[in-house]
Chains A and B, each alone.
Chain A
């Protein structure tokens, strides 16, 4: 038990970077403190974002006197988001961590190693839950008078909410790793399995939509039923929080803890086997040599693309917004537009695409940034680029181009499909392409500049860079805020004029980024040390 505590302590220290803050001196200490304060500030910003998002939801619920649904809605949302974001991290944290060899060579049980790794996943989900559930609590208590017991149970629930999704994610993620490790093309299979899980979940949610019809009077219960179908612990949560039922409290506490224990025991039997199979590489002696000569720029972009596609964790986590959008486009192709309109709350899909289309697709671009982790991912390989006769700016632009190419190609494809399906017209298509090009450039440059300022070069698992680093977090929040503004602005001018206005603002921002990168890029890159 003592070993487990020490492992967890080491993980937490490395996770929060406490040593750097406590032991640094002078300007470095100030920088670390500022970095810490920035993260706290961004957490607050995310909380405010959630607050207003929840406020939009509660307005409708107040009309049908079903404010309590807000709690169930965000409980399910927080749990499902934790579940899906964790599944894609399991392989990297549990099975591909660079400290594996060191840990298993020590007299530490596999259960302790697994528990400590799961704990770090739980902690990141706990922060995620706090950011979602605390603003919801503040908003809810504005509309409903609650008891002291409610507060107590709510705090208890915040601690417990991320546990079950973390455990389920570990189970599913391990299963994906276990099965894909049986194939020769492990990474490809892992990627395919993850895509199947995403598409399957989306189609399943459509199926749930189709089976529920309810009138205004029973809207609250009807909505809760949907959330309960999406995440089956929702009803138990509601009974615990609202009705203060002892049995529900018992279930809510005991269920995640016992499932967690079982998963740890189960996983400990297969842990070494999975790790060995994942890490084992087949050596081929026969191969076809392709000698290709490229320019420096082309070689750098190719290298970035190969890095990107080589890691399912990198793909699934860094461009999750784009993957979701691509899947959604596929669903739109196969699901009738009326039914899809129902899913969007009775909206006219064609009108929605004409007025907000490029901004909606652009918003998904804002959640798809590879450049925000591309410098950090160089890690111990940084010496290669720094010792080569290549301009550091060319290196940096290579990283921007890679992100831009992925977004631009997807953007053109999605625009083409949606314009053909909904007959949106040529002018709209041209405007979409211009807007998406600007969005893609903006987020690629923003991510790179943020990563230059917040590099994380010493890491033991790529998830720490891709998912948990300051750079990706800052880029995500800034991207979300910028992407959200054109969606919520109410304008009096024509839609096309509004799109052109937004594009002009983006163009100015891009020019500022380019000037900044050209002026400071070399200096910032040369200062990096791994």
Chain B
């Protein structure tokens, strides 16, 4: 479970995220939506410990990210919007590096690397340097690295960008499977169709403030998610 309590993040005098409150429960697939610069990536980076924040707290399964960052990170996996990986490492070496950081036992990691490398059709390229990979291949390595340590909380920032249709399908299926096992999934996306079909909860952020939070079925009862989003964009004023 992720609990975001009164989160405020500033860049100088600019308030990127303003008093944000959200609760993402175990088994939720939670979509985080907003226009460019709304504060989605800042929120996500604050959750996973990449950014410090000025006010509030974030709890991962009741543990504070601020007070116990290592305990929280051990339970989380993060897939960034742009897979900037270590270009000088081979794909397999990068995955092993991540496994070493999460202290995944050897036998377990071999099984999971094989499983996900086959699923995302990248096994035969794992011996090449990441610098030789396409954007999509790097994204696949980032996804495999996130899944091999079996996280309890999965945070994804625009995870489908650059993925081929087959891999996109496999990732969506894997997200559904993990959620059914009680894993918490929180992800940002601009593809509203995907969010509508995949997620059970939704939050919309505008200029750093939460403008909508709720159940996907209720939100899209009589209109599409796109209509909901456009209405909020046009009608809700954030000061």
In the docked arrangement, what's the CA distance between A384 and B80, Å?
Answer: 9
A383 with B100, Cβ < 8 A, contacts A284-B127, A288-B127 known: no
For residue A292, CB closer than 8 A to chain B, the reply is yes
Kindly state whether residue A142 has any CB partner on chain B within 8 Å.
Answer: no
| A494 close to chain B: CB less than 8 A | no
Cross-chain contact B70 with A384 (CB below 8 angstroms): no
CA gap between A5 and B165 in the complex, in Å: 45
Which listed residue (B48, B103, B126) contacts A387, Cβ 8 A? B48
Interface string of B117-131 (1 = CB under 8 A from A): 000000011111101
* A38 close to chain B: CB less than 8 A: no
A346 to B113, alpha carbons, bound, how many Å? 64
Are B78 and A381 neighbours in the complex by a CB distance under 8 Å? Answer: no
Contact A303 B96 (CB under 8 A): no
Contact with A along B86-125 (1 / 0, CB 8 A): 1011101100111111110110011001000000000011
Please tell me the size bucket of the interface on B.
35 or more
Name the distance in Å between A95's Cβ and chain B's nearest Cβ: 14
Cβ of B162 under 8 Å from chain A: no
- The proximity string for A residues 362-404 relative to B, scoring 1 for CB distances below 8 Å and 0 otherwise, is 0000000000000000011111101111110000000000000
Determine if B78 and A387 form an interchain contact, defined as CB atoms under 8 angstroms apart.
yes
Closest to B70 in A: A389
B74 — which chain A residues lie within 8 A by C-beta? 389
Measured between C-beta atoms, what is the minimum distance from B166 to chain A in Å? Answer: 19
Among A25, A299, A307, A382, which residue has its beta carbon within 8 angstroms of that of B101?
Answer: A299
User: Is A287 an interface residue when CB atoms closer than 8 A count as contact?
Assistant: yes
Q: Which of B70, B86, B90 contacts A381 (CB 8 A)?
A: B86
In the complex, what's the smallest C-beta–C-beta distance from A457 to chain B, in angstroms? 11
Question: How does the 8 Å CB contact mask read for B47-77 relative to A, with 1 for contact and 0 for none?
Answer: 0111110000000000000000011011010
| Chain A residues with CB under 8 A of B128 | 281, 283-284, 287
Interface size class of A (residues with CB under 8 A): 35 or more
Q: Is B85 engaged at the interface, CB distance under 8 Å to the other chain? A: yes
Residues from chain A with Cβ under 8 Å of B105 in the complex: 293
Q: Does A225 count as interface, using CB distance less than 8 angstroms?
A: no
Once the chains are docked, how many angstroms separate the CA of A200 from the CA of B218? 76
Q: Is A337 an interface residue (CB 8 A)?
A: no
Partner of B70, one of A25, A286, A391: A391
Q: Given A283-B125, A285-B125, A527–B52 Cβ distance below 8 Å?
A: yes
CA of A288 to CA of B90, assembled, Å: 12
Are B86 and A311 interface neighbours, CB within 8 A? Answer: no
Contact (Cβ within 8 A) B100 A295 = yes
How far apart are the CA atoms of A282 and B128 in the complex, in Å? 9
* From A298, A303, A529, contact of B86 by CB (8 A): A303
Q: Mark B25-48, 1 if CB is under 8 A from A, else 0.
A: 000000000000000000001001
Whether B51 and A529, one on each chain, are in contact in the complex, defined by CB atoms closer than 8 angstroms, is yes
- What 0/1 readout, one digit per residue, does chain B (9-28) give for beta carbons within 8 Å of chain A? 00011000000000000000
Q: List 20 A-B contacts (CB under 8 A).
A: A25-B13, A281-B128, A287-B126, A288-B127, A289-B127, A293-B100, A293-B105, A294-B96, A296-B103, A298-B100, A306-B88, A307-B86, A311-B88, A381-B84, A382-B50, A383-B45, A386-B48, A389-B102, A390-B101, A529-B51
Please name 11 further chain A to chain B contacts, defined as beta carbons within 8 Å, in addition to the given A289-B92, A293-B100, A390-B101, sorted by A numbering. Answer: A25-B12, A293-B105, A306-B89, A306-B93, A379-B84, A382-B50, A383-B84, A386-B48, A386-B50, A387-B76, A388-B73
